[in-house]
Amino acid sequence: MTLIEKYADQVIASGSFEPLDRIYLINKIRALVGSKDQENFDENESLVKQLVKLAIKNGEIEDSITDKEILNDQLYDLMTPRPSVVNRTFWEKYQQSPQLATNWFYGLCERNDYVKLEAINKNVVFEKKTEYGDLEITINLSKPEKDPKAIAQAAHDTTQKYPQCALCMQNEGFKGRLGQAARSNHRIIRMMIGGQKWGFQYSPYAYFDEHCIFLDSIHEPMKINQQTLINLIEIEKQFPHYFVGSNADLPIVGGSMLAHEHYQGGKHIFPMMKAVIKKEIKFDQYPDVQAGIVNWPMSDLRLISSNSAQIIELGTLIINKWQNYSDKSLNIIAEKDDTLHHTVTPIMHVEDGKYICDLVLRDNNTSRDYPLGIFHPHQQYWHIKKENIGLIEVMGRAILPGRLKDEMQEVKKYLLDKPNEIKKDHLPWAEELKKQDVTPENVDEIIQTGLANVFAKVLENAGVFKNDSQGQEGWKRFIDYVKKN
């Protein structure tokens, strides 16, 4: 049996085609990889990878990142049902249970290589205890390497994009091109949220268990308001086994995709969700809502109730009040030069039949001392984390840059007094770590705990009300302001 024939049989076995389609499939594959086939193949490597190599050998594609990615997804598309079939199957299974439906859909996205498991498994992941409980640290190695041709092209490209962004529904089945990811094997579940058409998909380079995205069918900017809370509640009603949350809708404190309204969710239980309320707050007009300040490095107000209407109403009040609230003694300023600087990162999940809504207060002001953001990782921690603190990190899972994998090996050598090439930026931190009794047996533990403690400090930097007496007084002033209505 040849390589092309073997893959045709694999596609048929997946259920997207029948045995009668075998000749048709073989010709579809030949059209993609070239007519020159091979009889030998490696049992330890995926057939698709071998077919991509065959296509390069046959001169059908260039040996480039973009060409290989496009062909990979075109081949996997053959074993992926059409969008209409995927949607029909999903909602049929949903009638039995939401979890059965998501289990099936996620399994499909793994099998057809839309969720890039091989890449995700390269990530470094661990958790370490801090004063805020166990924080999760990931060093992100899964994101694909940038194609140099795409970078060069983007510098001179002023044409209207199709799709407009990576979250638009037009990505479903899109072949891909330089600078625009291949999505031939991409499928989106259609659903209604807040009376509007939305989509539900999984993230190709997931940061946590069953990392999914809910995306507006219209390409429009993100915004946090009452409708956001209504939408998050509706999603929880449909998928109570998932959490769902939104990045903030402002630069610096928001995510990387502010141009397209979307939320993120999944099966993971984050450290923040395990954190307890340290100070209860009573809002007399909302008797069904248990509320309080969470014991967390960032400034988190939690609302708990089985009464979704009261959570939406009180949550909206808090969002609106925070958007207009200033406390100059704490460098908290709502508006400068007609530009608003306050928003929230809202997160929702269900526990014991109750909705739990976390509203994390955000401020994106900058200053001469803090040009990247007053409530942003401070410069002393940039050697570990300089990027924005988005939704996932707000909840206690660090997304650290891939460079740290190699850099921490040099730190390790430094701590063990071995020849090293430690970066100067890491030296002050490494000197602090070295004050401990470092041995070959505990050096990895010391470095990992050190990274977790830096992450805790970075989250504290992003908190608008610090965990000190001034911060607690600031909390009290803000809560009093909310209660005034």
Q: How far is CA 313 from the centre of its chain?
A: 28
Task: Write out the chain in H/E/C secondary structure.
Answer: CCHHHHHHHHHHHHCCCCHHHHHHHHHHHHHHHCCCCCCCCCCCCCHHHHHHHHHHHCCCCCCCHHHHHHHHHHHHHCCCCCHHHHHHHHHHHHCCCHHHHHHHHHHHHHHCCCCCHHHHCCCEEEEEEECCEEEEEEECCCCCCCCHHHHHHHCCCCCCCCCCCCCCHHHCCCCCECCECCCCCCCCEEEEECCEEEEEEECCCCCCCCCEEEEECCCCCCCCCHHHHHHHHHHHHHCCCCEEECCECCCCCECCCCCCCEEEEECCCCHHHHCCEEEEECCCCCCCCEEEEECCCCCEEEEEECCHHHHHHHHHHHHHHHHCCCEHHHCECCEECCEECEEEEEEEEEECCEEEEEEEEEECCCCCCCCCCCCCCCHHHCCCCCCCCCHHHHCCEEEECCHHHHHHHHHHHHHCCCCCCCCHHHHHHHHHHHCCCCCCCCHHHHHHHHHHHHHHHHHHHHCCCCCCHHHHHHHHHHHHHHHCC
User: Which two structure tokens, joined as six digits, stand for 148?
Assistant: 């140099």
Q: What's the pLDDT score for residue 151?
A: 52
| CA terminus-to-terminus distance, the chain | 75
What's the pTM value of the predicted model, to 2 decimals?
0.94
CB contact at 8 A, 465 and 471: yes
Q: What is the pLDDT along the chain (485 residues), one digit of tens a residue?
A: 899 999 999 999 999 999 999 999 999 999 999 999 999 889 999 999 999 999 999 999 999 999 999 999 999 999 999 999 999 999 999 999 999 999 999 999 999 999 999 999 999 999 999 999 999 999 999 876 555 665 555 555 556 789 999 999 999 999 999 888 999 999 999 999 999 999 999 999 999 999 999 999 999 999 999 999 999 999 999 999 999 999 999 999 987 789 999 999 999 999 999 999 999 999 999 999 999 999 999 999 999 999 999 999 999 999 999 999 999 999 999 999 899 999 999 999 999 999 999 999 999 999 999 999 999 999 999 999 999 999 999 999 999 999 999 999 999 999 999 999 999 999 999 999 999 999 999 999 999 999 999 999 999 999 999 999 999 999 999 999 999 96
The 10 Å Cβ neighbour count of residue 417 is 9
| CA separation, residue 43 to residues 40, 46, 218, 268 (Å) | 10, 8, 44, 34
Q: What's the pLDDT score for residue 143?
A: 72
Q: What's the pLDDT score for residue 145?
A: 59
Q: What angle do the packed helices 469-483 and 308-323 form, to 10 degrees?
A: 110
Q: What's the pLDDT score for residue 375?
A: 97
Which of 225, 451, 421 has the alpha carbon at shortest distance from 342?
225
Q: What's the pLDDT score for residue 337?
A: 87
CB contact at 8 A, 233 and 355: yes
Q: What's the pLDDT score for residue 147?
A: 56
User: Which two structure tokens, joined as six digits, stand for 173?
Assistant: 């089945």
Q: What's the pLDDT score for residue 148?
A: 60
Q: What's the pLDDT score for residue 161?
A: 84
CB contact at 8 A, 206 and 120: yes
Which phi-psi region, left, alpha or beta, contains residue 347 (left: φ > 0; alpha: ψ -120 to 50)?
beta
Which of 300, 255, 251 has the alpha carbon at shortest distance from 279?
300
Q: What's the pLDDT score for residue 154?
A: 52
